[in-house]
Structure 1
Amino acid sequence: MTALTLPPVPARPPAPAEVPPRQGTTLLYQREPLLLDCGRPVNDVRVAYHTYGTPGEHAVLVLHALTGTSAVHEWWPDFLGPGRPLDPGRDYVVCANVLGGCAGSSGPRDLSGGGADVPVSLRDMARAGRALLEHLGVRRVTVVGASMGGMLAYAWLLECPDLVDRAVVIGAPARHSPWAIGLNTAARSAIRAAPGGEGLKVARQIAMLSYRSPQSFALTQSGESPRRPGTPAITTYLEHQGEKLGARFCEQTYLALTEAMDRFQPGDAELRSIRAPVLVVGISSDVLYPPAEVRGHAELLPYGEYWELDSPHGHDAFLMDPGELPGRVRAFLAG
């Protein structure tokens, strides 16, 4: 057998994980309560967050997806780092775990005071986020959100128009369609039918089918599973995804956040009232939020700009196959 001579490994650029983040948790609304949209006042709201870069009066606010966290360096390496759209050498980058989350911020049971779970809204999340920015000394923000974070960006544009100077919405509509609500309803039904963790695993499997596309699964999950011979690869893939989420996420948070997304239904007139420049990105193979739907909402924005990411990998392409997306976002933020 002839030995292979491998070429030298080129020096890699600094990875986002090498940019030291600052992690914190703060207690807000200690004097005056946050009045939730459901009518309940809540005090002592805990918000966990990460910041990157030098603090200042302007920040780039990153809004995470449904099961995401505030640790942007862990889940968006194509976007955070030197020369990338979120450059801590240039920008003060802030990301908070959402109200109702389970990664350090006050969750549904915290807000309920031990009683029945209290519903939270995307607008509630924006108001809590605004209080965090005031705590950090931030007076103006550029908002960047994908998936649930993209819908939350619309909530920020409507709830805090005096604070947001521009926004990027990636792979998200302004409001959920019956299709998206139906998928979430099925996922919540699974959780309620099998509380204690098993239902959450099934909910994740349902969601994963909408996060990818038929083309993506044909490319990545065809044939027999390498983990379990004789079993389809897609079967063990979905089981693995369910197990992973079940080990790190809270079923009450899953219920609360998906319900908040489903209830967020801004009308066309509200969207036409948005005056900030907004880059809206659709994904060509997204079956959860089809690009025509995303584009239709973008066209209602007076200063909206639509661009489409071409990828076979569906909704999750913004994470796994971003292609030209970072460059497009970087150019919009620079403009």
Structure 2
Amino acid sequence: MDEAGCPQQEALLFRDRPLLLDSGQVLSDLRVAYHTYGEAREDATLVLHALTGTSAVHEWWPDFLGRGRPLDPTTDYIVCANVLGGCAGTTSAAELGDVPLTLADMARVGRALLEHLGITRVRVIGSSMGGLLAYAWLLECPDLVERAVIIGAPARHSPWAIGLNTAARSAIRAAPGGEGLKVARQIAMLSYRSPQSFAVTQTGQRTRGVAAITSYLEYQGEKLHARFCEKTYVTLTAAMDAFQPSDADLRSIQAPVLAVGISSDVLYPAAEVQEHAALLPRSTYWELESIHGHDAFLMDAGELPDVVRDFLHR
């Protein structure tokens, strides 16, 4: 079966022994939705998705998945799971109610899935929220992670990033039922691109009397509302904001790490990504040159797949 034909799978975890959350609450019988690519083995590459991503890597990262690419199912076993609190098959934030989650909680659920699959060592790759989650894996599961690739993500959120998420959550709370989520997405999309990118892609009008950027943002809001859950958005962004490892925590990480900054990223500026990576004892920094901002890892990857492939399988 080729990667495009891989179905989503599901595991029921923590049936006999509950998961203790950082909040002190316990959860049992958690459903985890995941995709695998390639033949099962004891070592694997673990892909960690972005905020509104899913476990279906073949749908959102085709430049990285396939023969000869960084995620090659012909030579590697690749696993990606929807995070705890997500809304793409795993037990969702809406199902959990008002239970707060942390990135460390999500890493522990991921570890349980690896145990379920018989995996004992992983190479981790994460971008955006997945990059923050990769830092959580490095701190929470150092015995499992051989090396990690962190793309377009700092080790902790700045006041700027927290402020953007605060505004998005405020929009959702002010207009529950979907309208607030649309506005939250519009706020996020402004931070996912750059002024240069919009100047190239969103000038003029597509509809008479309506600026192209306005049409674009409205479309993006409607598109997310059709497939995502506002409770998940609130829960995951809060977990990202609360993840604040200290410099000492970062200096304790011993696995080799490739940190990738994006030259025009206004959400997570390249200098911030580089500064945090420099605290790691065994880090390599590389910068993706693109005008398209944070989303360049998805839409303008350039040499990034080659750089990642060489590092993952060094």
Whether TM-score is above 0.5 comes out as: yes
**CA separation in 1, counterparts of 2:280 and 2:51?**
24
Partner in structure 1 of residue 131 of structure 2? 150
Partner in structure 2 of residue 253 of structure 1? 232
Matches within 5 A, 1:93-112: 93-112=78-97
Partner in structure 2 of residue 48 of structure 1? 33
Q: Which runs of 5+ in 1 are unaligned?
A: 1-15
Report how far residue 110 of structure 1 moved: 2.2
Aligned partners of 2:3 and 2:73 also within 8 Å: no
Report how far residue 23 of structure 1 moved: 2.1
Report runs of 4+ in structure 1 exceeding 6 Å deviation.
Answer: none
Partner in structure 1 of residue 147 of structure 2? 166
Aligned partners of 1:17 and 1:74 also within 8 Å: no
Partner in structure 2 of residue 217 of structure 1? 198
The CA RMSD over aligned residues, in Å, is 1.0
Q: Deviations over 1:152-209 (max 9, x none)?
A: 0000000000000000000000000000000000000000000000000000000000
Matched, 1:72 2:53: no
Q: Residue type matched to 2:169 in 1?
A: R
**CA separation in 2, counterparts of 1:109 and 1:69?**
17
Partner in structure 1 of residue 221 of structure 2? 242
Q: How many residue pairs end up in the alignment? A: 314
Which entry has the higher C-alpha Rg, 1 or 2? 1
Q: Which runs of 5+ in 2 are unaligned?
A: none
Q: 1:136 aligns with which of 105, 117, 120?
A: 117
Report how far residue 20 of structure 1 moved: 3.3
Q: Residue type matched to 1:146 in 2?
A: S
Q: 1:191 aligns with which of 168, 172, 187?
A: 172
Q: Residue type matched to 1:174 in 2?
A: A
**CA separation in 2, counterparts of 1:286 and 1:294?**
10
Q: Residue type matched to 2:197 in 1?
A: S
Aligned-residue identity in percent: 74
Partner in structure 2 of residue 293 of structure 1? 272
Q: Residue type matched to 1:204 in 2?
A: R
Report how far residue 17 of structure 1 moved: 6.6
Partner in structure 2 of residue 229 of structure 1? 208
Q: Residue type matched to 1:240 in 2?
A: Y
Q: Residue type matched to 1:269 in 2?
A: A
Report how far residue 229 of structure 1 moved: 1.5
**CA separation in 2, counterparts of 1:171 and 1:320?**
13
Q: Deviations over 1:216-257 (max 9, x none)?
A: 0000001112xx212110000000000000000000000000
Partner in structure 2 of residue 264 of structure 1? 243
Partner in structure 2 of residue 9 of structure 1? none
